[in-house]
Amino acid sequence: MNERIRFLREQLKRLNIEGMIVSNPINIKYLTNIDVESGVLLITRKENIFITHTMHIDEVNNTLTINDEIAVMDYNDIAKDDYENFFLFCENVGFEENFVTYSEYGKIKQKYKMNNLVETEKIIQKQRMIKDEDEIDLIKKACSITDDCFSYLLKFIKKEMTEKEIALEIENYFKLHGADGVAFDTVVASGPNSAIPHWKPTDRKIMAADPILIDMGCKYKGYCSDMSRTIFMGCILEEIKPIYDIVLKNQKAINRELRDNANIKWVTSVLENDFETNRLKLIHSLGHGLGLETHEIPYLNQKNEGILRENMVVTNEPRNLYT
């Protein structure tokens, strides 16, 4: 059987959950490698079933192998009365409460004729936190493309270019160098705009001595990269350089702390304490998990008392506000 589904079944069993309805396409891709626009994965007592529309059937069958042990069904071939049989004799069936809307929740209960839907508390996202070797290799490839793009930008960016022009060049570079496309909306923020973490590029032109914040990432075979860099046009203003140095010092220090068994809250406090000493304030989470999505658990902030584990992939991106 598919090893990821086997592991999921073991976790569900510990929670006394006998089946699950997986609706989130990201989680479906993780569990099955199926990457289509619509469909639902049913983890029933005896089998795994993926239901989708006719136009996706061939693609799905070409994706799966016999070892996956996943039956593929067409929505058109399932009668309304058949849905209740999928989870017959199941006392508890899990669903993705963080993905399904209230309206969809009602439709699921009605379609499968069940009153025993239970929350699964991001059970698959928690499984996704620990990456296997193949996942890490794909993330490394996405990061490599992004690294190369940054090196290219250092030669490409000139005065009088607009933020929008630079953002478009980044997106084009990704697509022309093997990436699926961008992992998230590209941020290019220059001058005073660079103080805003999630700035949307505008027609503002790059000027001499401008700080330029670039936040970019690509997807490679579904897996994401996420890079934040600050560069300067021509020179660094004297009032900015000490702040830049403090942030860089802390980023390097945090890199040494991101290891197996590290407490997330403690790691974050190391940064925040040094920032406060230097009249800086953390205005953005220290970092977050990275994988099939740009933002995954674990989130690196003071509220999270979780523990980092080997083969978790997280970002380290401290951003500050001078007080």
Per-residue pLDDT tens for 252-301?
Answer: 999 999 999 999 999 999 888 888 898 888 877 899 999 999 999 999 99
Amino acid at 200: K
Q: Which domain holds residue 220?
A: 129-237
Please report the pLDDT score of residue 320 as a whole number.
63
Q: What is the DSSP letter of 204?
A: P
Please report the pLDDT score of residue 82 as a whole number.
87
Query: Is the dihedral angle over the CA atoms 33, 133, 222, 172 positive or is it negative?
Result: negative
The number of beta carbons lying within 10 Å of the beta carbon of residue 136 is 14
- Tell me which of 128, 143, 166 is where a domain ends: 128
Same domain, 212 and 253: no
Domain count of the fold of the chain: 3
CB-based contact 208:234 (threshold 8 Å): yes
Please report the pLDDT score of residue 279 as a whole number.
86
220-229 pLDDT, tens per residue? 999 999 999 9
183-205 pLDDT, tens per residue? 999 999 999 999 888 899 999 99
124-160 pLDDT, tens per residue? 999 999 999 999 999 999 999 999 999 999 999 999 9
* pLDDT(42) > 70: yes
Please report the pLDDT score of residue 321 as a whole number.
56
Please tell me which residue, 179 or 270, carries the higher pLDDT value: 179
Same domain, 224 and 269: no
* pLDDT(208) > 80: yes
Same domain, 200 and 279: no
58-70 pLDDT, tens per residue? 999 999 998 899 9
- For residue 166, give the CATH number of its domain: 3.90.230.10
DSSP readout, 230-265? EEESS---TTTHHHHHHHHHHHHHHHHH-STT-BHH
Where is average pLDDT lowest: 41-45, 81-85, 175-179?
81-85
Same domain, 282 and 189: no
Please report the pLDDT score of residue 179 as a whole number.
98
- Looking at the whole model, is its pTM more than 0.75? yes
51-107 pLDDT, tens per residue? 999 999 999 999 999 889 999 999 999 998 889 899 988 999 999 999 999 999 999
Same domain, 306 and 219: no
